[in-house]
Every structure is written in structure tokens, then in C-alpha cells.
Amino acid sequence: MNAQPAPIVVAHQVSKRFGPLLALNGVSLSIAPGTVQCIIGPSGSGKSTFLRCLNQIEKIDAGAILIDGELIGYRRVGDTLRELSDAEIARQRLATGMVFQRFNLFHHMTALENIIEGPVTVLRRSRREAVDEAMALLARVGLTDKRDAYPIEMSGGQQQRVAIARALAMRPRIMLFDEPTSALDPELVGEVLAVMRDLARSGMTMIVVTHELGFAREVAHDVVFMDRGEIIEQGPPAQVLLSPQQARTREFISAVLT
Amino acid sequence: MTGHPAARPIPTDLERLAGLAIVPRRYYGRWVAAAIILLLFAWVVKAFAEGQIAWKVVGQFLTAPAILNGLVNTVIMTACAMTLGIVLGVLFAIMYMSPNPVLRGSALFYIWFFRGTPLLLQLLLWFNLALVFPRIGIPGLIEFRTIDLITPFVATLLGLGMNQGAYTAEVVRSGILSVDLGQSEAAKSIGMTRLTTLRRIILPQAMRVIIPPVGNEFISMVKLTSIASVIQYSEILRNAQTIYYANARVIELLIVAAIWYLAVVTLLQIGQFFLERYFSRGRGERRSRQKANRGIAAGGPP
Ligand SMILES: Nc1ncnc2c1ncn2[C@@H]1O[C@H](COP(=O)(O)OP(=O)(O)O)[C@@H](O)[C@H]1O
Ligand SMILES: [Mg+2]
């Protein structure tokens, strides 16, 4: 009856090298709009590198990435691919919002200034409109009272929630999360996951690198397990997390759970 | 058996002990040092008061037109040369860090040349530029005789500014390097171009590291302008000298010049204080919080 909607992210045979090290080795992955894709795997398996390639902080060495049908980083001219300019790449990055493990809030700006920086400087929206929207976002992540706080005056959990609001203020099609709770004290993990759960429920397409298997189990539509730059196993969370087919996946999951 | 020495007995009047008045520690060393310094100071003051210094002459020349004129020239030159130096410094720091080998190479050359030769030599080079380039401009369109173009002001400005730029480039570069890489990644992730990232995110944070040394160099520059007297730029020291060649009041006029230099430098230091406070926003909080905690530890509110 209903045709499958076209995937919003397509990675095809993506490879990335750092000198002799093959950080990504022919990674292929398609993500349907409105779904949550979790990526798990041991440290150094290429999870961060994959996210960084998606929003072009890193350049890929082979393969292709399409976001919303648009080829990333290149323009096709006849039988050649021409590298895009700095400004064109900046425009393509607007499709993706990124949340970093170490928050990376702008230290010299308050929570509110962090959130309106992109809308005002990059999207050239009016300051009034940007502030109104930022206040709504702060309310959504439960930090209305922190609008004038500098990052250093906030806890890790609060900083990460502001960072999520900053990314959302750009109205991205896809949100990328790189271990968003790994740098947090255990009692602060819950507040960030709650915001992400809420975001998933609102229908945002999300790609989440995480070690929170409970979160993946509950929220993800699909889980991939990566190791040494390759996707080892992929499937619905119940399958990959509870009855993994591959030995390496089983090993990793039991190591995380103990 | 276990090797623990016997514990000392606990005083029985703990309640009273906690309530005793505190007598602050005495710092005898400070009193001795202060006495020595005061004696030395009194001796210097006495020497100046009894020496052949006509303080009336100092007061008289403090606001003499030639001195004030020199002061204005010193201030203008400092401001212009520092502005040129900072603009060039930022420009060459960015070129130095660019992936483009041509830009990086020229920045390297610029820093190498202008840091590697004496300032006085550079001033003389600019002043005598006409010997190398008799005419400057676009041939057939506009042309100037170099002699008309390179006045003492222009030669001094180029000499001091270009030299300053080479030093400031290194200061700016270290400031940029001090900003965490995650900041520019976050800026990219919200769609900023490289230039916007630099202007909005990197430089404002680098300022915290850049301002103290640049403030220092600003103050050096005030005094460095006096070197321009060799190519007839009439800054304050040169004008003071011109006056004492005529009236032989050497020490008095040197004191006049010193007073004005100190006045300008004091104003600059005040300005630097406020600039530093502005650019350390979002950074100083931890320190003030520590101070507050210490206040509580030291007794807190009564
Ligand atoms: N900028 C870089 N330069 C060199 N090696 C890198 C760089 N970034 C990542 N790597 C290497 O690539 C591999 C994958 O890293 P990463 O994607 O960060 O792993 P993960 O996020 O899964 O822990 C690691 O071996 C890491 O050391
Ligand atoms: Mg990682």
C-alpha cells in the first residue's frame, strides 16, 4: 500500500583514513525520516568519525553520503565530482545538528547567546524572533532560569541540554548525538536522556552514538554495532541488544552490561 | 602493638577553646622591608628637592605649546602604529595558520624579516625609500614622487607599525591556538563559515590571551615613538630636547617629558584593566566562586 519513504540519510561504502589507519571501512547505512538510529561499539571503532563525516567536519576518502537526496561535499558535473566551497559546505551543514560529548558550548556566551548565535549570525533572523524562539527552546529543555548563565556556571547536564537547544535552534532535519551523556556524572545522565526521548517522540530523525543500552532499547528503531570501522551487525534493538548474532556484538554487550 | 603512638589527650574545655579571641600573626619582615624602602625613598626625594632642579621651570614647561604639541604627536603615532600593528598582526597570524602554502610562506617571511632586523634600521630604510623606489604608483595612471609621500610621519608609522605587526602576529597566533578545537567544530556544526567562526567564536576567546601582551606592547610603543626623533618626527622627547638645547634646563625638561609619558601609560593601564575584564567574561566565575567559599571558611557572616 504505502511505499517506503525515501531514506533521509544514505551512506554508501564510506571510507575514511587517518594516515595508515582505516577509521571507516566501507560503511553503508540508510536511515528513514523520523526514526532513531543508535550506533554502539567499542571505543575507537569509528562511531564519532562516522558522525563527523555526516556533517563534514571530516572529509571522506571514498564512497558517498546523501542527505535529503543531496550529495554531500561535492557537486556532480558530468562524470566528475567537484569539491564544494566553504560557503556551500556551511549551507549543507544546516541540515544536521550536532551534539558533542564535551558539549562545546561557546564559553564567552550565555546560554541564551549560545542558542541565538546561529539563527542571528548564520540564518540572519531578527534578534527579537531568535530570542523568542530560544526562550521556547530553553523551556523545552527545562532551563528557563539559566538564560543568562555562562557555561562555566552550569552543570554538565545543564550544558548538554543547552547544547541540544542550540542545535535545535537551527531547525535541522537530522540531529546527530556523539555520546551525549558519556562526560556526565551518573546522576545527570537521566535529565539529558529525557530531553532526547522527548525529541524522538516529536518525530525528529536522530542518529545517536551511545553506551546507554537501556535508552537504545527503548527509543531506537534500529541499532548498528560497529567495530574497527565496519558495521558488524544491524537490526531492531530487541534483536541486536538481546539476542545478537555475532560473537563480537555479544562480547561488547556483556562487557558494557557488567 | 600496632605501632600507633599514644594519642594526646583532648583538652576538656573544647567549648571555651572554640570561642577564644584570635590574635592575627605578626609579619615582622614586612615592617623591616617597609622601613628600608621608606628610607631609600626619602633619600631620593631629598636629592631631587635639594638638587639643581627648578621645579617652577618644570611647572612652567609642563603645558608649554611645544610640549603639548609633542604629546599629541606621540599619542597619535602610538595609536596609529598600534592600530596598523594589530591589523597586520591578525592578518599575518591568520595567513600563517592558513593551509595555503603561498600565504603561509609570505607570513613566515614577513615575521622573519621584521623581527630579525633592528627597528632603527627599518625606520631609516622607510625614510630613505626614495633611494630604491624614486616613484610609487601605477605607471601611467597615478604616480607620486616617493620623497613627497614618505614624510617623517609616514616613515615612522610604517616603521613602527610593520615591526609591531610581526610581534603581534605571534601573539595573536598563540591566542588562537589557545582556543579549544571543539569551539570551532561547534561553530561549523551550526553552519558558520571559516571567517565567521574566526570573527564570532575564535578571536573573542583568543582575546583573553592576546590582551595582556598587547597591552604591554602598547605601553612599549608609547615610549618607542621617541626613536622617531632620528628622522625628525617631532614627538614629545624631541621637542623637550629642542627646548633644552636652547635654555639648558636639561633635567627639568626630561622630568616634564617623564610626567607626560607616565600620564599616558597610566591611562592605557586603566583601559587594559577594563578590556581584560570584558574579554574574560564567562571565565572569571570560578575564581569569584572560590573567593566566596573562602569567605565562608574564614568565618562567614556573623
Ligand atoms: N583526527 C584524527 N587523527 C588521527 N586518528 C584519528 C583522528 N580521529 C580519530 N582517529 C582514530 O580513528 C579511530 C576511530 O576513532 P573514533 O571515530 O573517534 O572512534 P569512536 O568514536 O568509535 O571511539 C580511532 O582509532 C582513532 O584513534
Ligand atoms: Mg567517539
Nearest CA in chain B to A93: B191
A86 closest CB neighbour out of B180, B182, B194 = B194
Q: What is the mean pLDDT of chain B?
A: 87
Residues 122-161 of A with CB under 8 A from B: 122-123, 150-153
Confidence label for A93 from pLDDT (cuts 50, 70 and 90): very high
Averaged over B266-273, what is the pLDDT? 92
Confidence label for A180 from pLDDT (cuts 50, 70 and 90): very high
Could you give the CA distance from residue B257 to residue B236 in angstroms, rounded to a whole number?
A: 7
Asked whether the predicted pLDDT for residue B298 surpasses 70, the reply is: no
Among protein residues, the one whose CA lies closest to atom 8 of ligand 1:
A49
Please give the backbone phi and psi of residue A5, each rounded to the nearest 5 degrees, phi first. -65, 150
Could you give the CA distance from residue B194 to residue A241 in angstroms, rounded to a whole number?
A: 41
Among protein residues, the one whose CA lies closest to atom 25 of ligand 1:
A44
Q: Other CB atoms closer than 10 Å to residue A169's CB: what's the count?
A: 24
Among protein residues, the one whose CA lies closest to atom 18 of ligand 1:
A48
Averaged over A138-154, what is the pLDDT? 96
Confidence label for A204 from pLDDT (cuts 50, 70 and 90): very high
pLDDT of the residue at B2: 59
Asked whether the predicted pLDDT for residue A1 surpasses 80, the reply is: no
Over pLDDT 90: what percentage of chain B?
57
Could you give the CA distance from residue A39 to residue A36 in angstroms, rounded to a whole number?
A: 10
**B261 in Cβ contact with B100 (< 8 Å):** no
Nearest CA in chain B to A152: B282
Confidence label for B3 from pLDDT (cuts 50, 70 and 90): low
Q: What grid cell was written down for B17?
A: 577553646
Could you give the CA distance from residue A66 to residue A78 in angstroms, rounded to a whole number?
A: 18
Averaged over B98-127, what is the pLDDT? 93
A104 closest CB neighbour out of B185, B196, B279 = B185
Residues 176-235 of B with CB under 8 A from A: 180, 182-183, 185-194, 196, 200-201, 204-205
- Greater confidence (B230 vs A153) lies with A153
**B136 in Cβ contact with B154 (< 8 Å):** no
Identify the H or E element spanning B73.
helix B65-96
Confidence label for A185 from pLDDT (cuts 50, 70 and 90): very high
Asked whether the predicted pLDDT for residue A158 surpasses 70, the reply is: yes
CA nearest to A208, candidates A18, A103, A59, A51? A51
Could you give the CA distance from residue A74 to residue A82 in angstroms, rounded to a whole number?
A: 5
Averaged over B229-257, what is the pLDDT? 90
Ranges of beta strands (E only) in chain A are 9-18, 21-31, 36-40, 62-67, 70-71, 74-77, 80-83, 96-99, 174-178, 205-209, 222-227, 230-235
Pocket lining for ligand 1, CB < 6 angstroms: A 18, 21, 23, 41, 43-49
Averaged over A151-180, what is the pLDDT? 97
- Greater confidence (B147 vs A18) lies with A18
| Ranges A43-47, A75-79, A105-109, A226-230: which has the least confidence | A75-79
Q: Which DSSP symbol is given to A121?
A: I
* Rounded CA Rg of chain B: 29
- Greater confidence (B39 vs B46) lies with B39
| Distant-in-sequence, close-in-space partners of A121: CB < 8 Å, separation ≥ 6 | B192, B196, B200
Could you give the CA distance from residue B128 to residue B50 in angstroms, rounded to a whole number?
A: 47
Q: What is the mean pLDDT of chain A?
A: 95
Q: Return the exposure string of B205-220: e unless at least 16 CB atoms fall within 10 Å of the residue's CB, then b.
A: bbbbbbbebbbebbbe
Full-model pTM: 0.84
Choose from A94, A103, A107 for mutation: most chain B CBs within 10 A.
Answer: A107
Pairing type for strands A70-71 and A62-67 reads antiparallel
Q: Return the exposure string of A43-68: e unless at least 16 CB atoms fall within 10 Å of the residue's CB, then b.
A: eebbbbbbbbbbbbbbebeebbbbbb
Q: Looking at chain A, how many residues does it have?
A: 258
CB contact under 8 A, A57 and B188: yes
**B186 in Cβ contact with A115 (< 8 Å):** no
A208: CA distance to ligand 1 center in Å?
17
Choose from A93, A121, A137 for mutation: most chain B CBs within 10 A.
Answer: A121
pLDDT of the residue at B284: 62
Asked whether the predicted pLDDT for residue B300 surpasses 50, the reply is: no
Nearest CA in chain A to B284: A152
* Rounded CA Rg of chain A: 19
Averaged over A77-105, what is the pLDDT? 95
Nearest CA in chain A to B185: A57
B143 in contact with chain A, both atoms CB, cutoff 8 A: no
Distance from CA of A43 to the nearest CA of B (A): 19
Report yes or no for ipTM above 0.90.
yes
Distance from CA of B96 to the nearest CA of A (A): 19
Among protein residues, the one whose CA lies closest to atom 5 of ligand 1:
A18
Per-residue DSSP letters for A34-102?
T-EEEEE--TTSSHHHHHHHHTTSS--SEEEEEETTEESSEEEETTEEEEPPHHHHHHHHTTEEEE-TT
Which ligand 1 atom minimizes the distance to the CA of A49?
A: 17
Confidence label for A2 from pLDDT (cuts 50, 70 and 90): low
Asked whether the predicted pLDDT for residue B158 surpasses 90, the reply is: yes
Choose from B189, B277, B286, B288 for mutation: most chain A CBs within 10 A.
Answer: B189
pLDDT of the residue at B286: 45
